[in-house]
Structure 1
């Protein structure tokens, strides 16, 4: 589907009435496979890798970025986004890393799959669009291959824009190296866009928080494009027992150093919608943030020929209209992240 068709499809969705909760069966978790690059191909991981004794890691970096599926030149934009992420990872040494993407399309998945540093370092939760709620766009997560993945599942939200939560459970070990019987639960999500009456995002984040606070979850971290554009969005995290990493580091709402959308957009969008802190990292349980920053700021397509084509079509050269977010999260109580033996 090209960009104009995508825009037409979303315009049709916008004309629909707000969604309502239907059959409870529709919102049950859906298990899905994950993949690793082996023998020159991405292959489903069938058997859980063996546990490596003596993990020394109690922290991991989480990066999240909405790459924007609604504007053209997706392939060159994704190319510079991948290069930017590689440069960011080069600054953290051998630390563990997980990367969340929102607004992926099938071409983006193919580019991730063909990138050598991703092939060698990460599991992928998606090898195609087959597990997305929409056939046109969705979320995908890259997980450091040293981490022990226990399970991957999606929980559909009440939504008209086909949004869900992509969850990955990571094993943890006690201080003596034995399995702790709990998991670190990660949630990659893209909450409902725009304004609705009644609002939709409160119910979506409430559902996410319930899955983050299950008895078997030691700690949970949610990140993504939360589309926080209305006053009620500012308190959704605290109303659901979650903390906001940006705010925990002293960040302030309506601050230039917090905005993640509204800077790398056309002037008419700035005038109509202003700027907002759409992208966030939220958490709960036995985990605390050690650092936080925005990413993707000023990242542009630089190939002169492609830039010329973009300008001829009145397209901006930014990798995305969103900044991403990046934080280091640290487990408490001597707990370590379980490592798999590759």
Structure 2
């Protein structure tokens, strides 16, 4: 089957719907809403793998999310991977999330059933709205926010049942053209390169569908080999880190940093942002802090909040 047909079939199997998007709490009263800045096309994104299998996943996720939600550095877009069902519940109960973000999978946990973890996407309610009428009701001038289009879980060929979480954002000035944001966690380990190759072809085609003006794919690419790092260029995508820092610049490792491993795998740039039709402005690696693991009758141990470093990207549409 041709890759383009596979992409179309897989994508349409998950009917695009706004059902997955929900504000976690009811909208604020108009007198609680301050007028937003005029619409700009510059956005900030943080992508972070929560590391589902280390101890105390909820405590670690809370610490990671707390850092992401710091007021002075709070991003417009948050991509999260390896979110367990318990961590999802914790995210939905977070007061800062409830106040300031629209969240996928807030209505039910269907996407978390039968899998060890799933992805979640959070979008700032300061920058995004369901439609122009919602902006008017919130006391915000019409046309100041990007509107939300369809959101879908795109089933991928996968050994581990992985999906991509895709959402369209629509500039109110050009409502016939969308920008697509795709949150991914590709297949893990060396024996699944075949799957990652297929996955990247499908994902790249998502950014080229009719009416889509491009966008970005971000998250855990599990890029552990030179063949993995060649997949973006092969599919006509721009590697944001390479675009900003060059192949000879900072190595950009996001996994295995400062850890001695027995499997021979050293530090790697497993987490990435791939772009088409958008421009990267600046990008940095976010080192996770430490989480306390109490030990009865002994001093506590401290472990990294995640085995993945996060990425922060500023980009323009």
Q: TM-score, normalised by structure 1?
A: 0.75
Tell me the equivalent position of 1:283: 275
**CA displacement at 1:259 relative to structure 2:** 0.4
Counterpart contact for 2:81–2:184, Cα < 8 Å: yes
Mind listing any 5+ residue stretches in structure 2 that lack a counterpart? 28-34, 129-146
1:233-292 Cα distance to aligned partner (Å, 9 max, x none): 111111111101100012437x76410000265x335x621110000011102x201110
- Shift of the 75–237 alpha-carbon distance from structure 1 to 2, 3 Å rule, reads same
Q: Which moved more, 1:129-138 or 1:320-329?
A: 129-138
Give the match's secondary structure for 1:233. Answer: helix
Q: Once the 2 structures are TM-superposed, how far is the Cα of residue 161 of structure 1 from its aligned partner?
A: 0.6
Deviations 1:6-54 (A, max 9, x none): xxxxxxxxxxxxxxx99x96663413521112349xxxxxxxxxxx999
Per-residue deviation, residues 190-228 of structure 1 (Å, max 9, x unmatched): 001011266210110100010111121123111000000
Match of 1:109 in 2: 88
Give the alignment of 1:53-92 within 5 angstroms.
55-87=38-70, 89-91=71-73
| Cα RMSD after superposing both structures | 2.9
Q: Which runs of structure 2 are paired with 1:204-215 in the superposition (5 Å)?
A: 204-215=199-210
Given that 1:132 and 1:138 are in contact with CA atoms closer than 8 Å, whether structure 2 keeps it comes out as: yes
Identify the match of residue 36 of structure 1 among 23, 31, 44.
Answer: 23
Q: Residue 282 of structure 2 aligns to a residue in which SS?
A: strand
* Cα displacement string for residues 113-169 of structure 1 (whole angstroms, at most 9, x for unaligned residues): 111111111111112431247432110100112312111111110001111110010
**Distance in 2 between residues matched to 1:77 and 1:216, nearest whole Å:** 40
Measure, in 2, the Cα distance between the counterparts of 1:57 and 1:114: 30
How many correspondences in the alignment? 282
Q: Secondary structure at the match of 1:199?
A: helix
Q: Is the 8 A contact 1:159 1:192 kept in 2?
A: yes
CA distance 1:240–1:217, shift in 2 (3 Å): same
Higher relative contact order (CA 8 A, sep 6+): 1
SS class of match (1:170): strand
Aligned to 1:63, the other structure's residue is in SS state: strand
CA contact under 8 A between 1:134 and 1:162: conserved in structure 2?
no
Question: Which residue of the partner structure matches residue 157 of structure 2?
Answer: 158
- Within the candidate set 215, 228, 238, 1:233 is matched to 228
Alignment partners' CA distance in 1, 2:261 and 2:154: 35
From 117, 120, 126, the equivalent of 2:105 is: 126
- Secondary structure class of the residue paired with 1:180: coil
Structure 1 residue matching 2:68: 3-state secondary structure: helix
Secondary structure class of the residue paired with 1:153: strand
**Cα 1:90/1:152, change in 2 over 3 Å:** same
* Partner in structure 1 of residue 215 of structure 2: 220
Question: Residue by residue, what CA displacement relative to the aligned partner does 1:86-125 show, whole Å, maximum 9, x if unpaired?
Answer: 22x5236xxx601000000011111111111111111111
| 1:135 and 2:115 aligned | yes
Tell me the distance in 1 between the aligned counterparts of 2:59 and 2:304: 10
Once residues 271 and 50 of structure 2 are traced to their aligned partners in structure 1, the CA distance between those partners, rounded to angstroms, is: 12
CA distance in 2, matches of 1:39, 1:29: 31
Aligned CA distance change for structure 1 residues 69 and 312 (closer, same or farther; 3 Å)? farther
In structure 2, the residue matched to 1:293 is 284
2-structure distance, mates of 1:316, 1:264? 15
1:264/1:169 CA distance change after superposition, 3 Å: farther
Give distance in 2, aligned partners of 1:328 and 1:256.
Answer: 17
Distance 1:54 1:273, change over 3 A: closer
